Amino acid sequence: MLKTSISTVLSEQVNAEYYSAYLYLTMSAYADRAGFKGVANWLFVQAQEELAHGTHIYQHLLERGAMPTFADIKLPQTEFKSIEEVFAKTLAHEQHVTELLNNIASVAMRENDHATYNFILWYVNEQIEEEATADELLTKIRLIGDNSALLYNLDTELAARVFTDPFANKTA
């Protein structure tokens, strides 16, 4: 059975992951309406990934005998000025998620819950890639500027991303 402090931060993270999915869906819709179908696809896949994360953490709570708790999911930003702003917000959001996950790891260690600490380390390590990817895309967009040919190439590149459930081969 999980301690209340662990159950609380994990439940909060489930909510944060679902908020992340909402955020990336609004960004995807913005990109789609702005004519960036590849960017829209990349962000839609990002939303799917966040939903998978939330579900995985939810299942961990249940496996450990805890009752997940849920809160309202706040409305994410829905208006953006540019694709550059979208990726600047993506990077800032991923940095925030890193802070949340680091906090869970700290709580797990403080509570001497090695199973949760080991579980959350996958997310802590995955955030390195999440932040690096968001930073790389933001840098590319800033370098590209208003060059429509290069924007088209990047958009085409991002259209190739497909969702792969990172937990599909894990046993419950």
DSSP secondary structure, 80-123, as one string? -S-HHHHHHHHHHHHHHHHHHHHHHHHHHHHTT-HHHHHHHHHH
pLDDT cut 90: percent of the chain above it: 96
pLDDT band at 1 (very low <50, low <70, confident <90, very high): confident
**Residue from 56, 141, 153, 52 nearest 90 by CA:** 141
What is d(CA 77, CA 59) in angstroms, rounded to the nearest whole number? 28
Sign of CA dihedral 30, 101, 48, 76: negative
Q: Can you list the domains of the chain with their CATH numbers?
A: 4-158 (1.20.1260.10)
Tell me the per-residue pLDDT of 62-116, one tens digit each, with 9 for 90 and over: 999 999 999 999 999 999 999 999 999 999 999 999 999 999 999 999 999 999 9
CB 172 within 8 A of CB 59: yes
pTM: 0.94
